A and B are shown apart, each in its own frame.
Chain A
């Protein structure tokens, strides 16, 4: 049956191609063509305001290697991911363990912890920007009241506190997602394992340490990969809360790319920066997949 000619088979299944057409057109233009165009841009000095868009070979890549602000943006991004991902996951796991207990109001608690996840990110960022306000913000007010600090903190304009402040807000906004995913993972653990552990005399801590956490390994890995990939692309909080400041301390890779593309209008260099991000994401995804495979074998 498969011996029939290719044109005949294509004709017979023509409706499938028709169904795929709208999707394929959009995909070809805004993903495939865009990707090729992005590569093309990195080899050009492409300013929207200048008519000349000369080919510059590897200049953009060379510039990037020697760009101190770029290196700084990478470090800032790594700092953000390195802190916000584990913190969101640990918080999420803790919340999941708590709201998985047989409580009457657990549905209410789950909703409460998940609410920040469904709140538009811009709204959360605006809200937290106010909470961090050094003169009128709630953080300073209550910390001063409790005599934990003696002078108001300049949350978003102190170069050492700005990034931790953004991280704290991001953990608040993202922990609920980890919670829900962990909940699904928890509910998939067979109860017999806990019973067996109990018969063997394992206390609550040991059951958590030797049953729950190992059984949640795939969930943890999934959250880790997703978390790293999305946190490396952090932008909205930075744009709204700090504008990359103070003194570039919160300028992340995507924010830096935004500056080059839409403030300095150098699309070529901005595309090169985007590829640096792409490369970092690839490294992390590959690393994580390898870890997963090794974990599955062992």
Chain B
């Protein structure tokens, strides 16, 4: 295709690409600009792409810096803890899930033990089950975890893991899809390598940690990136199980803001920028890993 790609075609391609790129990016530009605009400017009859009267009011409303304005107090203000909650939950899930997925994947890929195929097929079969089917029972299961949240040993009497980080994190620490992905990748590790380590006297966990994990870099990175992305923007699960305003995650906090028809859009736009920023940074830094990861999951899928 390269052969005939002359100057004219090049110019033509840019002519098509540039407007498309502008269309895709314009909403972001507007978001960033609006997050610095006071309410009066957001609600003006002509939209301003460059804030005329730039303000940090929106961001301050989230960081709770200085005095909140009367309007902010009346409408409920933003809460920086939403972002901390999101970060803590997403990082914890990512670390734990990547580790436990790899551990399970290693057993399915490289160990021979009675029951292996049966368990693996069970894992695979449940990959077809959409999350919505288990959502409702899991809500009830979480509510009845024994000994937590005021529950007795039968799981009654309290609220269990509802409205707690346990409930947010625990169901997310393994994923059948991630295990499958990592297993496929680990199949390509030569058995002799593991045998050699075994002969050298390495224990099973040592083999996993020092031989298998270092060889799975790209697959682990893909698993970690997509898990983080999923956990950071997860909405449905935190929406239904979390209720304390200071414990909710950023997507839930922002969405409830809109749904409850609060009108301080300056605050909302600022919060949206803060919520979007980590993922955009992760993407720009690990761009190549993203693409590799999609190829890894996509082509095999």
Contacts and interface: CB of A to CB of B under 8 A. Distances in A.
A98 B51 CA distance: 34
Contacts of A209: none
Interface of A: 6, 9-10, 13, 15-17, 19-20, 22-24, 26-27, 29-35, 37-38, 41, 48, 95, 98-99, 101-103, 107, 109, 111-116, 118-131, 136, 138, 141, 172, 176-177, 180-181, 183-184, 188, 191, 194, 198, 219, 222, 226, 229, 233, 235-236, 239-240, 243, 254, 257-258, 261-262, 267, 270-271, 274-275, 277-278, 281-282, 285
Main secondary structure of the interface of B (DSSP, over half): helix
A111 B119 contact: no
Most chain B beta-carbon contacts within 10 A, residue among A118, A180, A229: A118
Contacts of A267: 136, 139-140
A121 B233 contact: yes
Rank and list the top 10 A-B pairs by shortest CB-CB distance, nearest first.
Answer: A13-B113, A120-B233, A37-B137, A122-B251, A34-B134, A15-B204, A23-B104, A34-B137, A16-B111, A118-B283
Contact of B14 (A20, A103, A123, A129): A103
B235 A236 contact: yes
B193 interface: no
A22 B254 contact: no
A23 B5 contact: no
Interface string B223-265: 0000001001101100110000000001110110011000001
B294 A177 contact: yes
Contacts of B14: 103
A27 B272 contact: no
A31 B176 contact: yes
Given A13-B111, A22-B103, A126 B174 contact: no
B299 A184 contact: yes
14 contacts: A23-B174, A23-B179, A29-B141, A30-B134, A30-B138, A35-B126, A35-B133, A119-B28, A121-B233, A126-B255, A126-B258, A177-B294, A239-B259, A240-B258
B272 A127 contact: yes
B129 A278 contact: yes
B126 A120 contact: no
A41 B236 CA distance: 20
A114 B173 contact: no
Nearest to A243: B259
B65 to A, nearest CB: 22
A184 B236 CA distance: 31
A121 B204 CA distance: 41
Nearest to A142: B47
Interface in B1-21: 1-3, 5, 9-10, 13-14, 16-17, 20-21
B171 A30 contact: yes
A38 B133 contact: yes
Contacts of B179: 23
Contacts of A194: 1
Given A98-B17, A112-B25, A136-B43, A233 B132 contact: yes
